[in-house]
Amino acid sequence: MASAADIAKRYFAAINARELEAAVGIWSPGGIERISGQPQLTAPDGVRRYFSELLSALPDFSFEIRDTVAARGRCTVCWRARGTFAGPGRFQGLAPTGATVEFDGCDVLTIEDGQITANVVYLDGAEIARQLGLLPAAGSAAETAAIKLANMRTRLRRALYGAEPEAIANGVWVLRGGRPRTMNVYLLADGDGVTLFDAGIAEMAGAVAAAGARLGGIRRVVLGHADPDHRGAAPALAAPVYCHPLERAAAESDASLRSYWHLEELAAWARPVYPKLLTRWDGGRTAIAGTVQEGDEVAGFRVVELPGHAPGQIGLFREQDRLALVSDCFYTLDPETGRGTPAHVPHRAFNEDIGQVRASIRKLAALHPAIAWAGHAAPVAGDVDAQLELAATSPDK
């Protein structure tokens, strides 16, 4: 039987000779090809379509094999490709530009019983785009201008969706996002990385991931509750997510709105706005890896159950400095105007049980926190007990 290197060389020779059916015939049906930056291809049809389009767009396209290394049913082929984007065909929707391209790449082919079963193709897509004129040349004035524009967009996104985390206690940071920046995500030092408490809104995912990476990586996410403005970024963070057992169904649901909400209690102007906002904030259903409840330990904090706003809402309390992170146990802003306010019960439109809300605020006050950070806006500091007692009796509006 032919060696893996022989099979690989025959495959590249068939493409160079424009013998597309011969090339496709070397593939095992159902074989998978992954090309850097491209959708996955399935043989034979996907591979046939790809090379048919490529050869129509670059009629003089060819590979020059530079080196091959084969072992244990795999063959790595290092090559240089050349071609002129002369048409008549388009390539991935692009009209022929007449540009000549020359670039290096590498195929890693898996070969079984004389056929290709898988191939991973590595190439520099940015360099190809530059040669085609889709990106400015490296070091050019156009590239400098494009970089400045990209940096301007980055600064704007940081201003809108979250920038740098702010240290608020030993081993604890808050990242503020949203418009205005009233969505709080907490990063808690946990071993060589961090645990997140709450995940903010979907638009904050990039800022949260970057902040977590700078602090050693996100080990897990613990949701204070599963509302869309608290689970929003979680699905994009590639970290296991935990919540209270009573929040699991909501976290894993596709629904952005909670069944017990009464949005008709909002001001007339806000009633049509909030469903759209909540849907935009939501990152969608979030797979739950496990649950936490009263008394469990999370990154040096104790879990405290604070239901009412949501059935399984939790907070975190750290005895050593009496720091409380409490999600939406109370609000320090008006959700209809975005203005900061003294601590008060969450708006009646979003609560499951106002009696439990008030009891949970009193339960929090009984812990005598030195400072209590909520899921939104500013913390309660100073005479925290007194402010929480007032919050527990405040109107739910």
Which tokens in the block code for residue 70? 């084969």
Place 144 in a pLDDT band, splitting at 50, 70 and 90: confident
Looking at the structure, do residues 131 and 159 belong to the same domain, yes or no? no
Whole-angstrom distance, CA of residue 81 vs CA of residue 16: 10
pLDDT of residue 61: 96
In a domain, 41, yes or no: yes
* Residue 333's CATH number: 3.60.15.10
> How confident is the model over 84-105, as pLDDT tens digits?
999 999 998 989 999 999 999 9
Same domain, residue pair 194 and 55: no
Amino acid, res. 327: S
pLDDT at residue number 72 = 87
Asked if 120 and 158 sit in the same domain, the reply is no
One domain for residues 102 and 166: no
197 and 130 in a common domain: no
Look over the chain and give the mean of its residue pLDDT values, rounded to a whole number. 94
Q: Which residues of 146-158 are buried (b: 16+ CB within 10 A; e: fewer)?
A: eeeeeeeeeeebb
Q: List the CATH number of the domain containing 89.
A: 3.10.450.50
Q: What is the mean pLDDT of the segment spanning 22-41?
A: 95
Better-predicted residue by pLDDT, 38 or 361: 361
Given this model, what pLDDT does residue 132 score? Answer: 84
Q: Beta-carbon neighbour count of residue 112 at 10 Å?
A: 13
**pLDDT given for residue 163 in this prediction:** 62
Residue 147 lies in a domain: no
**pLDDT tens readout for residues 269-300:** 999 999 999 999 999 999 999 999 999 999 99
| Stronger pLDDT, 365 or 206, i.e. the higher one | 365
Question: Do 328 and 310 touch, CB atoms closer than 8 A?
Answer: yes
Per the structure, the count of domains in the chain is: 2
Residue 238: what are its φ and ψ, rounded to 5°? 50, 45
**Within 13 A of 39's CA, how many CA atoms are on the CB side?**
7
Say yes or no: 244 and 363 in one domain: yes
pLDDT band at 42 (very low <50, low <70, confident <90, very high): very high
In a domain, 69, yes or no: yes
Q: Is 149 within the bounds of a domain?
A: no
**pLDDT grade, residue 389 (50/70/90)?**
very high
What is the Cα–Cα distance from 206 to 204, expressed in whole angstroms? Answer: 6
What's the CA dihedral at 268, 269, 270, 274 to 10 degrees?
A: 120
**What pLDDT is attached to residue 252?**
98
pLDDT at 121 over 80: yes
298 and 337 together in one domain = yes
Does 129 share its domain with 164?
no
Instruction: Locate all alpha helices (DSSP H) within the chain, ordered by sequence.
Output: 4-16, 20-25, 45-57, 125-132, 141-161, 205-214, 228-231, 248-251, 273-281, 354-365, 384-392
Q: Which range marks the domain in which residue 347 is found?
A: 154-392
